[in-house]
Amino acid sequence: MTSPTKDTSRLLDLAARIALRGHGNVEPNPMVGCVVTDADGTIVSEGHHRRCGGAHAEAIALRKAGDRAAGGHLYVTLEPCHHTGRTGPCSEAIIAAGITRVIYAHRDPNEIAGGGAEHLRAAGIDVEYQSTRKTVLLNAPHEHRCRTRRPWVIVKWAQTLDGMIATASGDSKWISSERSRRLVHRERGRVDAILTGLGTVIADDPRLTPRTLRQPRRIPARVVIDDQLEISLDTQLVKTADEFKTVICCNTGKIRSDKAKSLEKAGVHLISLGEQGTIAASLATGFEAHGWSNVLVEAGGGLVGRLAGEGLVNEVITMIAPTLLGDPTGVMPFRGRTTQRISDGLTLDPVDLRVRDSEFMGWYRTPNLIKER
């Protein structure tokens, strides 16, 4: 991979920003953005993958460019595909348009879709592989899913300035601002599943549905980690299981119990935590059987600590309110580790840090997921 020039970085970053418009509509496909310039570097068109099964970003950008694409350059966040699925191969569309140079930011980890770069080179097109920090951030979820066969896991919490997500009595309404809560509901409408623990269900009796002004892009499954299948049949999650998909992950020995039969009669789906009782096993089943690409975690510190202990946390979003509780018995967002030194802690890589109204919002990835490659 060659080091990108300033103009190349700018255009790849633009393509990455454009690609994000597809978040929540394109999964399980990757988000992809494309920019077409003429030979002098003037932008003539752009495009992004808008929905799963729809036209690819390159095809949209080339269609917009028309004859202006001839002799031009194409910048795209993912290697152009070279296979025929629900759409034709992008490599052939690029050749037909007369593009002379292609710069792509990420090799496609999908063996079926890959191979476009070599096909373009064989056709006499100058092909370069370059990446920027923004394109690596964009492509990390897709690569993770292809490599692990598990969904991308996003953990979200709101906390006080002294690090509490609730008081000792469990009160947490509301730590975050109304604006932040709207952002959370928007994100709920862009993921395939919302994961929580039994403790949160008992404390809050949540519905875990997206409530937005606009029609949500997705209606996520509500997923509960409940090893011993102790959830009450009177919870909102169970009572609305016929309306919104509800999944409970429990120990294998509980799958055929009388309680399980009652839950299934109410419309609840059950997934085994596997022989080892791991959440990873449930996520793998969710990925393969239920099509979970992205999972949003809204839970207490015990489940978050358990997820981190299994190495399943990919992304963390925090909202920090300017409020102090001063009570060491309050509820922490992350539990389950015994550390004697600061160096033993889990250090996250910051992606975006900003102040929204009176709150501080931090967006982080787990280490080694945002390094340029």
Active site residues: 58
User: Rounded to whole angstroms, how far apart are CA atoms 312 and 335?
Assistant: 15
Residues of the chain by 3-state class (helix, strand, coil), percent to 5: 30, 20, 50
User: Rounded to whole angstroms, how far apart are CA atoms 198 and 175?
Assistant: 21
Task: Report residue 138 as tokens.
Answer: 């964009």
Question: CA-based angle 340:342:345, to the nearest 5?
Answer: 90
Question: Pick from 182, 209, 215, 204: which is nearest to 193 by CA?
Answer: 209
Pure H helices in the chain: 6-19, 57-65, 90-97, 116-122, 133-148, 178-188, 198-204, 236-239, 258-265, 279-290, 301-309
Question: Pick from 165, 202, 158: which is nearest to 327 by CA?
Answer: 165
Report in angstroms the alpha-carbon separations of 325 from 156, 180, 336. Answer: 20, 20, 22
Q: Is the dihedral of CA 116, 118, 124, 128 positive or negative?
A: positive
Task: Report residue 66 as tokens.
Answer: 């028309």
